[in-house]
Amino acid sequence: MRKDLNLRSKTMKRWTLILGFLLVTCPRPPAWAEFTPQEWEVLKTGEVLATEVFTPKPDGTQATDVLVKIWIKGPPEDVWKVIRDYDHFGEFMPRVRSCRITKQDGEAYWIVYDMEVLGIQVIYNLITMGKEKYRRIEFDLDRLKPNDIREARGYYVLDDAPDGQGTVLSYSALVATGIPVPQVIARRISKPNLIQVLKNVRQRVESGGAWKKPAGS
């Protein structure tokens, strides 16, 4: 019995870390993302902003939405091209070993992800929708396919930076393994991972699509 409990405890801790590495955030994406003049003053220095919004739930607890924003020196068309270049995500997205488009219907793409997290292979399928070209992308788990995770959804929003100075990219995502994790732990481990995604996207865009992540990252 003690051996079984220890095994379950170790498994729980490992999946807690995986949950963070897979970007645990935002259960209910807002209708649109915006940035304030005050946020722009920070963004234009190159810093990435991560904002928490606490929302009451019917059971008396509260959900935490984490929205991450970055300034990219490139037009929305260039940013859009990179974040829709799914077949090459393995070159620049953190922890993605490979990513492949299995089907396309207009601005809807069916994608299969192959990730390696803490030495564990994680495979799941997403449906991504371009809701407004060069402005908004939403994605959700394809539940008709086998997946190693229980839930995944999120969005990107592309806004024009002031004075034609590029694009402000906002991003939020939820990936859940099905194992409950306290909100405070989820927030602590998800923010750095969300931020890294946007930093990698920025390098990819500003390099004209040439930048690649370090091996093993």
Confidence of residue 211 (pLDDT cuts 50, 70, 90): very high
CA dihedral for 106, 108, 113, 117, sign (positive or negative): positive
Work out the average pLDDT over 21-42.
Answer: 64
Residue position matching structure tokens 């806004």: 159
The pLDDT of residue 7 is 57
* pLDDT averaged over every residue in the chain: 82
Start-to-end Cα distance in the chain: 38
Residue 128 confidence (pLDDT) above 80: yes
Angstrom CA distances, 134 to 8, 13, 72, 129, 137, stand at: 45, 39, 14, 12, 8
Percent helix, percent strand, percent coil in the chain, to nearest 5: 30, 35, 30
Residue position matching structure tokens 């949950």: 19
Higher pLDDT, 46 or 14: 46
Let me know how long the chain is. 217
130-179: per-residue pLDDT in tens? Answer: 999 999 999 999 999 999 888 888 899 999 999 889 999 999 887 666 55
Domains and CATH numbers, the chain: 2-206 (3.30.530.20)
Higher pLDDT, 149 or 77: 77
Q: For the whole model, what pTM was predicted?
A: 0.81
